Amino acid sequence: MVSTPTLQTNRYKRSKTAFAEACQFLPGGVNSPVRAYKAVGGDPITVQAAKGAIVTDIDTNQYIDYVGSYGPLILGHAPESVIAAITNTARGGTSFGMPTELETKLAAMVVDAVASIDIVRFVNSGTEAVMSAIRLARAATGRPKVIKCTGCYHGHSDSLLIEAGSGAATLGVPSSPGIPTQITQNTVLIPFNDVEAVSGVFSTHSDIACVVIEPIAGNMGCIPPKPGYLQRLRDLCDQHGALLIFDEVMTGFRVAYGGAQELYSMHPDLTCLGKIVGGGLPCAAYGGTKHLMQQMAPQGPVYQAGTLSGNPLAMAAGIATLQTLRETPPYDQLDQMGEKLVQGLKSAAASAGICGGPDVQIETSRVGSMVSCFFSQQPITNYEQAITCDTDAFAKFFIAMLGKGVMLPPSQFETWFVSHAHDEPCIQQTIDAAYHAFVAVSESRSTETPPDTRS
């Protein structure tokens, strides 16, 4: 259980000082935009340590953590098996730029876990994995164009950073300066969960190399696919000779051991993995059939390389994590805790007068241990609906939860992650905190000055 000290003006004193110093040396004081708290106000918390489900900041405040490093920490922070694997491996060296048996061992585990993968290539980030998979798809089909969904984030490579959700949505930047239009014109945008839009693109474009999609959207909040949606994408790709790429950087090993494709009985041509596959260390991967993957250099002509790809520490952490997930599967417990959290949020909102109110309402969404709480008066099924959410209400909710000892991702458009370390007391304390946070949102609305509608 987390001790939640009374909110005081000096509660975050050291974090505030640390952030001011960071701003002198880092753009915006951070190394990834969402960490700057621009969407929720105030200065970010600076973390000192974490264990299990609990994060401790440099002011010694403790929080139940639902950021979870944005997905990798399915076992919680610093699980003993993973720390031991990293430590033991580091004693023999941290990087070689040469093959190791650890690479082969983790590759074999990935191939065994993910039915659509025969061969896998390790890289360092999800951005690299998706970028490389698309390069392979273009080479294999001889076509230039890529279909992606608005609000789905596939990394910050030039051709994909277009209406990308998550941090880009939070900052109100649908694209980014520095990306030539000659590159983006080969990316075709469609709404998530809209089969007819995909069909329409295929009917008017004969040069589509691939459809790349998060099978469960996680960067506009957690949004599951509608029934039959993924299968229809599979059928359309087959019909038109395009490849289907699943970006399972977030969902791989998270919603099932074999990822979302196991959960939904799907078989993409290429799969991108990240986060959990590296056990919390920088690591990602892409893989598919032998026919496709044997086109990668040095076996084939499609080039991709990386000095730190297959880093032994990341391989060791990934092996330890996947061994735990395979030998003692946590998925039933994760599903139970996720459902308890969602039902508790609904109940807390209703008790606080949020649900059913004329001004502020919530919609919850969940797939396994991926959870979202949208401040919206309608169910959210795509990015276009997600950006209509009440982000001001979420910001108030976030700050109130922080004050009650609960750390949420600092954006309405980021998914919350439940880990194996989140037990029933953690979930109940979160629900109790949420009640007070919902009350704070409701009270703030009741004291706001109504707009002047006089002509």
What token pair was written down for 200? 């329409």
37 has catalytic annotation: no
Q: CA-CA distance, 53 to 415, in Å (whole number)?
A: 16
Marked catalytic residue, from 65, 247, 269, 392: 247
Task: Give the distance, in angstroms, between the CA of residue 424 and the centroid of all CA atoms in the same chain.
Answer: 24
Query: Angle at the Cα of 183 (from 181 to 187), degrees rounded to 5?
Result: 100
247 tagged catalytic: yes
Name the region of 286 (left: φ>0; alpha: ψ -120 to 50; beta: rest). Answer: beta
Report DSSP letters for 307-368, one per residue. TTTT-HHHHHHHHHHHHHHHHS--HHHHHHHHHHHHHHHHHHHHHTT-TT-SS---EEEEET
Looking at the DSSP bridge assignments, the partners of residue 146 are 187, 210
Q: Is 328 exposed, middle or buried (0-12, 13-18, 19+ CB in 10 A)?
A: exposed
Q: Per the residue annotation, which of 66, 153, 229, 257 is the catalytic one?
A: 153
To 10 degrees, the CA torsion angle through 183, 283, 365, 371?
-140
Contact 129, 272 (CB under 8 A): yes
Sign of the torsion formed by the C-alpha atoms of 442, 443, 448 and 450: positive
- Assess whether 153 carries a catalytic annotation: yes
Encode burial over 240-255: b for 16+ CB neighbours within 10 A, e otherwise. bebbbbbbbbbbbbbb
Q: How far apart, in whole angstroms, are the C-alpha atoms of residue 57 and residue 15? A: 8
Burial class (CB in 10 A: 0-12, 13-18, 19+), 100: middle
Catalytic residue among 275, 346, 396, 404: 275
Catalytic amino acids?
Answer: 153, 247, 275
